[in-house]
Chain A
């Protein structure tokens, strides 16, 4: 029972790191980016390819995945995404679905459609018992890394100058730029960090979630759930939603495997109908679409 909870928390933390970039893109730029999963997949493939073909140790792959995918995100933001911000939501949806289709087919072409396997280092394999709770070492590792990232993110957002600029831009981009903030640069940096985090999440999650070219499509709905349910104005909202989703998914698949993802989807629809703007919303922030 507690083991299940533990696994659920690990899964939820992973989903949070994967989706937090999307939360920022949606909240900050009001941009529906369905291609977020493609960045996560890129991170996963960077890790797998570096480990299996070049022999880079696993721990080194994680920062490389973060930086590499972040750079890719920055490049795409600058070239492709920026003209999209002002377009209607339908255009954004079409554009990002197009990117997903391209990413899926391209990975299929270059790497192949088979499931990729990550060979974890020996000290991360296996599990141990702590007060009768079976704890997978790798799950624990994921929780520790993700928790550290969450604390760091929260600190950056709440305590640093960049964080307050970002929050200002989230609340009202026009006024923020009127006050002399370079909103475009904030967007670029945030987008890069967000996609980098997705890449890192993909690298961490390749072993847990499985990695094949259909990854962005398979998990797209999960990322969107995290963001839509959690709301886009706080960082605690998506965190809560991700934990809820992770625990519900793991527990649901364990206790009623017949229903599968059914529980998750119904839960999402109920929550969204009950609170269309997400679980936690901050007073004063611009709510919803334009």
Chain B
């Protein structure tokens, strides 16, 4: 075994804390019975942030419109449940497939241009979908949101209850499955080649990697995951509103990911945990102006250096 192959393989090995996390996630269902509502919100946000990490942390695409896929998945799931079939799993599959198609189409738009162009195009797609959802009010309910979505029981047996225990189990299972899939993906040769093109596109191209097909593939997968997160939200709350497509959702998920750290896949989970708890704390203290503290946090985060904030032991050293 060569050195490179050995290194790659040791990167892909399961670490102790990863196994601990894999145990802690399902265990939280039994440990936190009273917090299921908040916990499923966190799990959904985590899934959403992990999907962003695939394109931002691994492929280096700065997106300000990732909510487009989240919202599309949410509306797809809600509409499917309302008009076609109330079965959650089938709805999830349909929403994921629909969002994947949308992601594949949108990925063609982000292949060219600079960071700014991509930023604008992703932002534009999200704004476009927002306008569309706003104006097609016969279909989506417009600004009032899509009401009257009644979900069927999960697997035909477990109904969604008010305490959100079923919903939390459902989101947890989807999150764990998606994480396993994402983990497999980023440690595959495909995932390694993504990191290569993130670090230096020209070099990656000159060793014979086909950049565009890889970007299309990862963007589609990430869109599908974000769609799954949106579908989970719509299914567990039985409601979809314009809020799922709003700009602040794209900005929030970026923040979540950055708090947790990009490019190692678990940043989304830790970030979602920190973000939701922080939001809960600050908004109970000053409900109307909590965005101010969020903004201040962002500014400080960047000024200090976002890779240093999550590593407190580096605060007192000078940067090399």
Contact = CB atoms under 8 A, between A and B. Distances in A.
A258 B294 CA distance: 35
Contacts of A276: 112-114, 117
A106 B291 CA distance: 9
B109 A260 contact: no
Give the one of B109, B112, B296, B302 with max A CB within 10 A. B302
Interface string A248-269: 0000000000111110011011
B120 interface: yes
B254 A93 contact: yes
B150 interface: no
B87 to A, nearest CB: 33
Contacts of A94: 254-255, 258, 298, 301-302, 306
Contact of A98 (B117, B131, B302): B302
Contacts of B115: 32, 89, 289
A98 B112 contact: no
A135 interface: no
Nearest to B255: A94
Interface string A216-229: 01000100110110
A273 B113 CA distance: 8
Interface in B283-306: 288-292, 294-299, 301-303, 306
Contacts of B64: 93
Contact of B292 (A89, A93, A101, A265): A101
A176 interface: no
B102 interface: no
A269 B296 contact: no
A289 B298 contact: no
Contacts of A95: 298-299, 302-303
Nearest to B120: A228
A172 interface: no
A166 interface: no
B128 A266 contact: yes
A166 B127 CA distance: 34
A263 to B, nearest CB: 9
Given A90-B56, A94-B301, A224-B123, A101 B294 contact: yes
Interface in B34-69: 56, 62, 64
A98 B302 CA distance: 9
Given A87-B302, A276-B113, A277-B113, A261 B292 contact: no
A91 interface: yes
Place the interface of chain A in its size category.
35 or more
Given A94-B258, A276-B114, A32 B292 contact: no
A145 B291 CA distance: 36
Contacts of A87: 302
Interface residues of B, number: 44
Interface string B190-229: 0000000000000000000000000000000000000000
Contact of B116 (A26, A84, A273): A26
B288 A108 contact: yes
A89 B255 CA distance: 14
A219 B64 CA distance: 15
Contacts of B127: 221, 261, 265
Contacts of B119: 32, 89, 93, 224
A78 B235 CA distance: 49
Contacts of B109: 269, 272-273
B124 interface: yes
A92 B125 CA distance: 21
B128 to A, nearest CB: 4
B251 interface: yes
B247 interface: yes
A225 B134 CA distance: 21
Contact of A272 (B117, B294, B296, B298): B117
B308 interface: no
Nearest to B301: A94
A104 interface: yes
B257 to A, nearest CB: 10
B254 A259 contact: no
Contacts of B9: none
Interface in B90-125: 109, 112-117, 119-121, 123-125
18 contacts: A93-B119, A93-B254, A94-B306, A97-B254, A97-B255, A98-B294, A101-B294, A105-B289, A221-B127, A259-B135, A261-B127, A265-B127, A266-B128, A272-B121, A276-B117, A288-B113, A288-B116, A288-B117
Given A95-B303, A98-B299, 16 more contacts: A32-B115, A89-B115, A91-B306, A97-B251, A97-B255, A97-B298, A104-B291, A105-B289, A106-B292, A221-B123, A260-B131, A265-B127, A269-B124, A273-B109, A273-B121, A276-B117
Interface of B: 56, 62, 64, 109, 112-117, 119-121, 123-125, 127-128, 131-132, 134-135, 247-248, 251, 254-255, 258, 262, 288-292, 294-299, 301-303, 306
Per CB-CB distance, the 7 closest pairs between chain A and chain B, nearest first, are A98-B298, A276-B113, A101-B295, A105-B292, A102-B295, A288-B114, A289-B114
